[in-house]
Every structure is written in structure tokens, then in C-alpha cells.
Structure 1
């Protein structure tokens, strides 16, 4: 035992790190040592365990002291044996407590960990007027519990991983065993095993960049969510969910473009209202990409307008070309958005006033922008904020800027080139083998109707999405 304790002391730096606890005591007449990280230990549980151990008499634990201590004297369920010192050190650093008993080659690992954690609350980016408020937090075990609470299925699997040579971050791959495509599982598991880094302090984002298939594509190939109900819905469809410790965001894979444009609010209202909200959201996403470029195109090429729309276009252009105005306004909107993220809440109102004066009244007075440019770029910004997926919001800013540059340079030809490139980019993108534009391409009429219309639950398709190639196609019995 003494050699084991010295090994632990040496490798954990117990003589330097003040939070490494090594407590020597006796169980009966047997020497014993407890070791754990003070900041991860639940003091009440540890105290209770020690009280039971020190009250044990010598006669109660002989012979076979180790086995009797394990089975009779520790009133705790989360306990296991281990004899690999390196594994024991990893578990101590993960928050477990280890018990060494003199005369035994094995040690007992007791899961007495307690992590600093906040209570589940509604996520800022996925708010709903009605519905659950218990979203994911930074502690993986709590997040798994939130999912299991919604899917009480014996076939739900939670596969653990530990990633990072130094951080040894806990991960969990969640899927339903008799539903999920085994090829999808094998693909993702292989990529997780190939993660070879010191650590993943950026948690889920680092994992995403290891498992996605296209690095230079701005469009997100996985979906993020902080809502446990959204994660549960996707599991039932046949997706997999990745949870990473220290992150409140779950990774859902595969994910098509249309997964990123749906919001939980649509399903918390009746079917008619949900469909209306969905159409408004689609319109907002369309305007965030195409409204400003199309207005610029028609302003530069008024002959393209039909007779009834000849009012489109600025009354006075001003000294700055329209294309330059739009490009500048595009960057100013992003500057304001970034500034609002990094501005403390008490100063947010002041930031809004400064932005309104700077980009509004003063910019028009000095003829830096025309009023029409500010109007259409503002509508595009509102459309951007209606996009449910933050990753899709940012991705759509790239084609928006490219369209402005191409139209400002080549007018109608630039628009055609940009549109073709945009369609080709989306058409060739795949998420773990699933086409990004499915069910539009390849075409699936029933699935497309489910995206265009928010159908009532009893009227939905009996089958799961074809593109996922699930083992069990039917989500409900006929």
C-alpha cells in the first residue's frame, strides 16, 4: 500500500497542490489511506463514509479484510475495484475518491464527486413562450439525466468516451439501439477515437471539427441545441447526440439545412399557427440573404423591373456608390452585433443609442448612406435574427456579402454566378452521408410537406426520415 500511495503522491504533486487530499487512518487494525481532490469531493458523503470505516472493529474485517470492507462496511452504491494506478489517478482527477487498504493490491474507487454546477434554465437562443425550461448545463451527468427523463426506453444507449491526453474530458454518445443506422454510429465512433490532442478545452466545438467532413464549408454540418426536448426528438428520429462535459450544448448529427431552420416554438403552438410562424421564419431567412442584393441589383439594372415595380431604387445615390454603401452597412451591422455580445448589460442601452445615431441619423446627414440602404440592410438584419440556428445565421452572412460584391462588380452576371455557386455549395454538402438539401434534393415530397407545413402530430408520417436509413423505419404502429 505504501508504494501505491507514494506513486499517487508523486504523480498528483501532493507536496505542491494544496487541493490533493491524502488522509491516513485505520480500519480496525488495518492501515488505510483515502485520496481525492478536495474541490471535487462531496464533504458530507466523504464524512459519512469515514465515520463508518473508523467505527469498524478488527474482528469485523478478518479474514479477507478488503472484500469485507467492500461488501459490509461502506454504505455506498457507486463503488468499484481497480488495481491500475494510472487509471486510478485518472479517476481521482475526474473527481472520484480512492481507498487503499494495507495488504491489498486493489483499491476501491468511490464516486463521491460533486461539481460546481448551475441549475437548468431556459437557453437564451432557444426560448419558447410555452414549454420546458430545463435545458442542458455544463455537467454531463445532469444532461444525460434530462434526456433519460424524456426517453425512458431500455434501448437508449449512452456510450462513454474520455478525450484528451491531459484534459481527459468526459463525452457521451447517445443513440437508440434498434433505430440508429449502424454505419452512422461506426463513422462517428471512429472519428471520436481518432481525436488525438492534449485536450479539448473548447469542448463540443473541438469535437465538431474532428467529426465533420468539410472544413472549408461555412454551413454547419451538425446542429447544436441546449434544449433536452429537442435532443430527445432527434434521438427518436434516428439521429445521434453527443454530450461533452463542461458544455451546455449538445451536438446532433446528421443535420441538414432544414434542421437548422426549425424552432421548438413552432411545435408548442397549434398546427395552423405553427405553420404561419414557420413561413414567417422562412421569409426572414430569405431576406437575410437576398433582400439587399436584389434591391442593389434592381437599382443598378432598373430595366430588369416589371412596370409595376419601377419605384424600387434610391431617389438620390449620393457621393458613395450603392454597392460600397451596402458592403459598409453589412460590416457595421456585424460590428454592432459583436459589440452587443461583449458589452455589459448595464451599457447595452447606451450602445443601442450610439449605434442608432452613428448608423442612422448622422450617417444619412453626411450622405454616407442613403435611407433606402439603411432600410433594407436593417430588414436583412432582422431576418438574420429570426434564424433559429446561430451557426446558420453566421453562415448566411457569407453569401450575403458575396452577392453584394458580385452584383456591385458584374450586376446581373454577378448575381447569376453567385446564385449558381450558392446552389452548388449547398447541393454538394453532406452531413455524414446525408445530402444537405434533403428532402429538396434528392426530392422527397412527403418529407418536404412536413417541412413546409407544421402538421398535427396524428397526421404526421408513420416513418422516420428516409435519409437517415434507420434500422426501424416506423416511429409509430399502424
Structure 2
């Protein structure tokens, strides 16, 4: 067995050059020991309590007791090093083989607030933050049942990132759970910095723009899905959770549907789905009508020329400017956001129309299409729909009615070929399920049906 000095020096060599790794020697009667901790990730009050426990033990001739935090004995140096770099305190004692790992972590975190991309008028106004322990607590606060399982794993060769997947035992789909656990076990290489990195490690990188899992920053959304048998995955340092399995229509739901009356919620869902259809197909259909001078009873504004090059360039310019403004607003500091408003007025206002950059009709149609994009609850889904709209518009521009038909057909084929866990991507529309479609549109209370035998087994455990 290595002596205390040998183990301490081995840790000191591995941590050489890091100013925030602190070594403190301690003496309890004749017992020598060393505390090793990260000053940047530990709670000073807990460290003081541990030091106080040494003094009390020595003064009362008691066996050494570490309190008030949880303690784990670790025998592997590599595992102990990972725990140290995660913010836990290592206590090394002379004559004791294990590294005593004491929970003293205190991660830097921003205040809890409502997510910017999933706001609601009614309902809770809290959201996930970058602290995974805090995020677990937000879910625990909503589901107070021992069947709620929180499993933690650590992945990443250098990052050693903590990953928590949670589910309700006897309610979760066993096939989905087994598939996730198998994929997690097979992750050997690659770093995990966010939930997106983890998704690529689990399911591979693809050119398909549609998301294979749902992302959410709202703990109430995660709690609702857990009660329905889904799995939620939390990644440390990320304020967003992954929900799986998911479908196209599952990503169109938002929390306000659970805070409104049945009629209002139904009309809200229908209006939202119509807005998503408009964001996808209004601009391509209008392009075909304009190119063929097909006057309809809708009195849709049409263009008086047939030059597809200039017509298409104007549409692409407007759509590109709107996309530039969207991205710039995301990255612009709050103090400069008012300047972006003036720039947007100049880029999309009467001045640009008067110099012939594009026509009023093009501006109106692109604006309506982008309103439908912003109406889509899932941020990743809205971006995928937007790029599919651009593809269908280009086909409609150069192919007319035939190009529009090919674009819509390719879009449907892409959605049908999108692979997710357990369910087809367009379920419950394709294949059609009246029961699930009714639940999607009408909602309703969440009622769990447990197996009596399994519930009894869980109770006795």
C-alpha cells in the first residue's frame, strides 16, 4: 500500500501548474492526512465544516468523522482524480487505502429564469440552468414518486461530463430505455460539451435537417413527458434537456396547451399547425401562381414579369436579409438591440422597395412565411422547415407546377424516411392512429395506468 506522502505527491505531479488545486495537510491526534480540493468549484462553508469535524474528533478522542457532506471511498487513483476535477474534496489518511471523496461541490450558475425560446403566459416561469444538480431538483420537485429514476453516467475522454437520464419505472417504454442504455454503453470516444454533442454520439451525424429528439429548457415540459412514458436526458453545463422518443407533431406542442380550456387549446393548436403549413408552402405556391399568371379568387398579389432569375434573386435577397436579421438579433448585445431595429427598417422598408431591390408583394409573402416559422414551438423544427421552404421555392421557381410537386414529394419522403426511436416521424398521421390524433388535438388530463403486480413489487422494494 502506498504511503500518504507517495499518494499526495502523485496527485501533486498530475496537477502541477494548476493554481486552483489546493493541498492542505491535517493532523488528528497522531493521524496524518491531506485534503485536496478545487478552490474554483467547492463550497467554502462545507470545507470549513469538514475541518471542524477533524478538530471535534481530535478533541473528544472520537473516531474520525467527516460531516456534513456525503462521503464515498474510492480505491482507484484515476476515478479519484475525476472526482477531484468535478469539484469534490479528496481526503487522504495515513494507513487508509481509499481516497475519501467528500461532496463539497458548488458550481457557478446563473439565476433561474423563464427560457427565452419557450415563453408562456400561464404556467411556471422557471427553466433549466447550467447546473445539472439544480436541474434534477426542478424535475424532482414536480414528480414526488420513488418510481422516478435518475441514472448518472460520465462520458467524454477529456470532459468527463456528467449525464443524467431520468424515467418513471414501470411507465417508460422498456424498448426505448434498453436502446438508450445500450447506446450509452457503446460510447467510447468523443467529447461531450452539450446535449447536441451527446445526440451525435448516440445516433450519429446526419445531413437530415429535422431533429431526431426534442429539446426543451422547461422542467414542466419534461415532467409531462416523463408522466407519459418518455425519457429525459440532462447534460451538465447545458440548460436544455433531450426528450425521446419524439415525432414531428410532438414537437409542435407547447406548454400553453396545458393551461387553457379545451376549446381554446384546440383552436390554438389548429391555428399553429396552419401557420406551420403557411411557413412551408405559401411562398412556393405563390411563386408558381406568379410565374403562370394564375389569378385566383384569393386575390393573392402577383408579379407582372416572368423573368425567373430576377424574380428568384429578389425572393432570395429578402429571405436572406430576414435570416441575417434573425441571427444578428441573437448575437447582438442588449444595449445595441435598438440599433438593429433601425437597420431592419432600412433593409426591409420603403427605401429598399423604392430603389428596386424587391417588390412589396415579395416582402409581404416572405414576411408571412417567416411569421409561420417563428410560430413553430420547436426551435430546431422551425429552422428545418425554413430550409425546406427554400429548397421547395427554388424547385418551384425553375420547375413551375412540376417543380412544386417534386419539392412537396421530396419533403414528404424526407419526413417519412426520418428515423426515430420506436415511432415513425409522422406518427400519428402516418400510420394513422385515431386515439393518438385525438390526444394530440384535444389533449386531456394525464392518467397513469399501472400494472398492479409491478406496483406491489415496487412498493415492497
* TM-score greater than 0.5 by the shorter chain: yes
In the alignment of these two chains, the number of paired residues is 449
Name the CA distance, whole Å, in 2 between partners of 1:214 and 1:101: 47
Is the partner of 1:443 in helix, strand or coil?
coil
SS across alignment from 2:57: coil
Q: 1:91 to 1:377 in 2, by over 3 A?
A: same
CA offsets per residue over residues 179-199 of structure 1, 9 Å max, x none? 112221121122222333352
CA deviations over 1:178-232 (Å, ceiling 9, x no partner): 111222112112222233335222x111001122367121101100001101001
| Structure 1 gaps, min length 5 | 62-67, 465-470, 473-478
How far 1:323 moved relative to its partner?
2.4
In the TM superposition, what are the counterparts of 1:376-391 in structure 2 within 5 Å? 376-391=365-380
The secondary structure found in structure 1 opposite 2:126 is: coil
For 1:373 and 1:385, the matched residues in 2 are separated by 18
How far the C-alpha of 1:362 sits from its partner, in A, is: 2.1
1:227 aligned partner? 218
Partner residue of 1:23?
A: 24
Indicate the residue corresponding to 1:439 in structure 2. 428
| Structure 1 counterpart of 2:287, from 296, 301, 322 | 296
**128, 135, 138: which one aligns with 1:143:** 135
- Give 1:406's aligned residue: 395
Q: Report the counterpart of residue 247 of structure 1 in structure 2.
A: 238
Query: Hey, what does 1:121 align to over in structure 2?
Result: 113
Measure, in 1, the Cα distance between the counterparts of 2:308 and 2:71.
76
Q: Which residue of 2 aligns with 1:40?
A: 41
Deviation digits for residues 231-266 of structure 1 (CA, Å, limit 9, x no counterpart) = 011111111111000001000011100111111112
2:109–2:129: 8 Å Cα contact kept in structure 1?
A: yes
Rounded to whole Å, the distance in 1 between the matches of 2:109 and 2:37 is 19
Residues 128 and 217, structure 2, Cα contact 8 Å, conserved in 1: yes
Note closer, same or farther for the CA distance 1:59–1:359 as it changes in structure 2 (3 Å cut).
closer
In 2, the alpha carbon distance for the partners of 1:262 and 1:196 equals: 35
Mapped to 2, the partners of 1:319 and 1:248 lie a distance apart of: 45
Is 2:261 the partner of 1:279?
no
Which runs of no fewer than 5 residues in structure 2 stay unpaired? 456-461
Q: What residue number does 1:475 align with?
A: none
Q: Is the 8 A contact 2:395 2:404 kept in 1?
A: yes
The one of 11, 15, 18 aligned to 1:12: 15
Tell me the distance in 2 between the aligned counterparts of 1:103 and 1:351: 66
**Which 4+ stretches in 1 moved above 6 angstroms?**
316-320, 460-464
Verify the 8 A CA contact 1:138 1:245 in the aligned structure 2: yes
What's the CA shift for 1:318? 9.0
State the distance in 1 between where 2:169 and 2:444 align: 27
Q: Identify if the C-alpha distance between structure 1 residues 319 and 165 changes in structure 2 by more than 3 Å, giving closer, same or farther.
A: closer
State the 1:394 CA deviation.
0.7
In structure 2, do the counterparts of structure 1 residues 461 and 436 end up closer, same or farther at CA, with 3 Å as the change threshold?
Answer: farther
Q: CA RMSD in A?
A: 2.2
Is 1:236 the equivalent of 2:224?
no
> In 2, are the aligned partners of 1:167 and 1:198 still within 8 Å (CA)?
no
Q: Which of the numbers 333, 349, 352 marks the counterpart of 2:322?
A: 333
Write the distance in 1 (CA, Å) between the matches of 2:55 and 2:306: 86
Kept in 1: contact 2:291–2:306 (CA 8 A): no
Shift of 1:60: 2.2
Relative distance call for 1:7 and 1:418 in structure 2 (3 A) is: same
Q: CA offset at residue 359 of structure 1?
A: 2.4
Select which of 177, 185, 191 maps to 1:193: 185
Alignment match, 1:269 = 260
Q: Secondary structure at the match of 1:105?
A: coil
